[in-house]
A and B are shown apart, each in its own frame.
Chain A
Amino acid sequence: MDLPTAHALVRFGLGRRVSDPLPSDPHAWLQLQLVGPDKAAITPPASSALGLEVARVERMMRRQEATAVGAATPENPMMPTVMTPNGTAAGGENPGRALYQAQAAAELAHAVTTQQPYRERLVWFWTNHFTVSLKRAEITPLAAAFVEEAIRPHVTGRFEDMVLAVMRHPAMLLYLDNAGSVGPQSLAGLRSHRGLNENLARECMELHTVTPLAGYSQADVTAFAKLLTGWSVEREKPPLGFRYRPQAHEPGMQVVMGQRFAADEDGGVAALRFLANHPATHRVLATKLVAYFVADTPPPDAVRRIEGVLRDTRGNLGAAASELIHLDAAWQPGTKVRTPTDLVVAAVRALDIPPDTVPMVGILGGLGQPPWTAPAPNGWPDRAADWASPEAMIRRIDWANGYAGRIGDRDVLDLATATLGPLLRPATVDAMRHAGSRRDAFALFLSSPEFQRR
């Protein structure tokens, strides 16, 4: 394995899986992954209709528990059966939680087995850019659906289409409170005395699109929040999912960052397209992509190139992903520290064992990054200093020591060489040779700087 191939496998891919054929041309291998459909198929399937139905039944069960103590025969709700990857029916006390566990495990298993690991990394990147988090309990049965419906279909498409899919998705509308935002002068607002919630509008401007770089004001945030009133979620009656409620929409034209937008659903769509294609948005996305694929401190010339591609293609994310491969700076090994998710997926790929034999969701809990639980809407951090805290590093070593027990009687040096090729350092080889056991040698490999970095 040559150095560019070894590097492509960890920087753009998710780590070598030894049973996969080695790419003969790393650039072509990466490029090909951006063409054609994404081949992911998650079991159980992830859809917001299913997630919302599970949540609805769960609410019904809770209401019955609370009210009908010893009263009439409790109605037995028809629960959608949730199958886990090993074929057993999940459910019981907390079906939403069971659905989350099964879907999170399935997403991680897909990351282990996918033949399109660069594409999967892009799914990770954009999912984190548009963070929804289980920190809000309502998100639990919807997070995987968010990935599958709002993110995955658009990672090689247009940014404005991704933004629209995200902002209409029940997970985002609930996570950032837009589902209940009501125009104060709308019919619903005048009748119920309910009103505006500006959370989603603010975070969309601050985190998802233009950011404070663009110099907007509180009045812009309020106007944008009014444009998004009525963008809501039907949670009770089928069809469950996104629902635009015109009676909750604030009447009147709105001005956001100097642009006028009409007072209806199309006005909100137009505002989102405006924000998605704003030059400040291109700058922000380019900076974030380069920080993720090149180095914690993104080189300005690399940022300018990606920014230029986004501007010239009006936000074509596939074109940006293609340009990233061709940045010389992106081929400098080891500048990024792996996140816990990156580390665990790479370790399961390295050992090439069935992903359902490793409880990855629980492990990521212990390592500080359980799926879709970022503490705040700005997502998980992307800098080495944010992950390499003393306690976090000790936990990685502790976990590696336990996981290394899975090595069995396999040859650790062969496995390490097949996984990292020329990235493997002589010092690590030497330490592995002197280790007291295969297990210790494998734990050392997993804890070496070349495996902790990408």
Chain B
Amino acid sequence: MMLPRRRALLGLTAMMVGGASSLAWAHAPTDRRFVVIILRGALDGMAAVVPYGDRNLLGLRGEIVPPQPNQPGGVLDLGGFFGLHPALAAVHQMVQAQQAAIVHAVAAHYRVRSHFEAQDCLESGADQRLTSGWLNRVVAALQADPSQHRPLGPDGEAVAIGVNVPLLLRGPSQVANWAPHGFGHPNDSLYAAVADLNRDDPVLGPAIRDGMAARGFSASVMTDDPQDKARFSFAALAKAAGEMLAVPNGPRIAGLEIGGWDTHTAQVNRLNGPLKQLDAGLVALKTALGAVWSKTVVLVMTEFGRTARVNGTKGTDHGTATVAFVLGGSVRGGAVLGGWPGLTENKLFENRDLAPMTDLRAVAKGILGPHLGLSAAAMSQVFPGSDGVSGMGGLIQT
């Protein structure tokens, strides 16, 4: 019992938020699904999407660079310059099917190398930690738009999967949550009595109410087998997210997170596991979504990249630019986007990191506008202070 549950708590958690909807939205913009996956701990973008065509790569980090395409254990080619890490086979297929785009040399708007400050800013979508996350404000923007109005379902406006709700999803829009559980359940009247006892508590009261709502919703749409030890894996949580998003009157927006990226040592070995889990999770999500995959966009992002040079312990330290993945049936995929700064010493950021070429908020806006129909004004609320950053074009099929 201990191990799988512990794994779930060490970052392989998922959360989900969205709204119920009426039967009349078949052609409405809110028919679209949007999923955000946080890679918590800073993914080395140049390990996941290797610029094997850059002639300075081997000099900087030869001992951690995988072989060239078509060699044993080699990268999966993306058109002659970049190659995907071999653990990302499903992502490679999605790129070939033009359902995945990769933005390289991307960085969020801040320049710090602290995980915690960076994650606060990444999730807040602002220059400092706010009390709400940007994905929660996306939900608020959808609800505020009369053309996207839909009645609330009985389970409230939002549901999160995972024991904790991360900052990305916290805020004024209601969030309930769900996770695989291991304890037995009391009867409904005891739940009701406990909810009543806590009704006036400003923190515990709403949490218990939302938790009961989420249990009611999840119990009606999915099965959770307490004997299944794999049910805490990232793939299982991604499958759960997909099952909930596939429900016609279920939530529209989801977030998941997966850890294991802070590879200060032995990076080659330590990255295999998390990358495989990410790859398997994306497959599980796509499979569970079924036909709804065609209406879905998934954004995979991390707080910053890692040093261009290998460090003294065959790992990499905290850096700046990295990669973001945009995947789904609504994506205009097939390519690696964003400019490439090059890896000569004078091109490295602070003579150390891959230099940023694209603002991560431009990637997010390039999805929120065409895919979810958010106006420029709404996006200013989602990402305060970002008016000078316009959405990246060509990410979404129109």
B-contacting residues of A (Cβ < 8 Å)? 101, 134-135, 177, 180-182, 184, 189, 194-199, 202, 206-207, 212, 218, 337, 361-362, 365-366, 368-370, 373, 375-376, 378, 384-386, 388-395, 397-399, 401-402, 427-428, 431, 435-436, 440, 443-444, 447-449, 452-453
Contacts and interface: CB of A to CB of B under 8 A. Distances in A.
B197 A447 contact: yes
A101 B1 CA distance: 13
Contacts of B190: 397, 401, 440, 443-444
Interface string B349-368: 01010000000000000000
B313 A181 contact: yes
A401 B186 CA distance: 6
Contacts of A207: 116
A365 B6 CA distance: 6
B318 interface: yes
Contacts of A177: 264-265, 313, 315
Contacts of A447: 194, 197-198
Given A366-B182, A375-B10, A388 B194 contact: no
B242 interface: no
Given A391-B163, A397-B191, A218 B207 contact: no
A398 B9 contact: no
Contact of B160 (A369, A390, A428): A390
A390 to B, nearest CB: 3
A155 to B, nearest CB: 25
A183 to B, nearest CB: 8
15 contacts: A177-B264, A177-B265, A182-B312, A194-B312, A196-B311, A197-B317, A365-B1, A376-B40, A390-B176, A393-B207, A394-B212, A397-B186, A401-B186, A444-B193, A449-B198
B184 A401 contact: yes
A361 to B, nearest CB: 7
B2 interface: yes
A70 to B, nearest CB: 27
Contacts of A448: 194, 197-198
B264 A398 contact: no
Given A194-B312, A195-B311, A449-B197, A370 B9 contact: yes
A134 B315 CA distance: 20
B316 to A, nearest CB: 10
Contacts of B183: 366, 395, 398-399, 401-402
B177 A197 contact: no
B198 to A, nearest CB: 5
B255 interface: no
Given A206-B114, A378-B116, A394 B311 contact: no
B113 A195 contact: no
Interface in B181-212: 181-186, 189-191, 193-194, 196-198, 201, 203-204, 207-212
Interface of B: 1-2, 5-6, 9-11, 40-41, 112-117, 160, 162-165, 170, 175-179, 181-186, 189-191, 193-194, 196-198, 201, 203-204, 207-215, 259, 264-265, 311-313, 315, 317-318, 350, 352
A212 B117 contact: yes
B2 to A, nearest CB: 5
Contact of B162 (A197, A337, A391, A440): A391
A218 B197 contact: no
A21 to B, nearest CB: 30
B306 to A, nearest CB: 12
A395 B185 CA distance: 9
Contacts of A376: 40-41, 115-116
B14 to A, nearest CB: 11
A156 to B, nearest CB: 29
Q: Would you list the 6 A-B pairs with minimal beta carbon distance, nearest first?
A: A195-B312, A390-B211, A398-B183, A401-B186, A394-B211, A390-B210
A444 B265 contact: no
A212 B121 CA distance: 15
B264 A197 contact: yes
Given A365-B1, A402-B184, A197 B311 contact: yes
Contacts of A395: 163, 181, 183
B357 to A, nearest CB: 21
Contacts of A135: 10-11, 259
B185 A197 contact: no
A181 B198 contact: no
A98 B86 CA distance: 35
Contacts of B315: 177, 197
B311 A391 contact: no
Which of A182, A378, A391, A431 is packed against the most chain B CB atoms within 10 Å? A391
Nearest to A221: B113
Contacts of B264: 177, 197, 199
A180 B186 CA distance: 50
A135 to B, nearest CB: 5
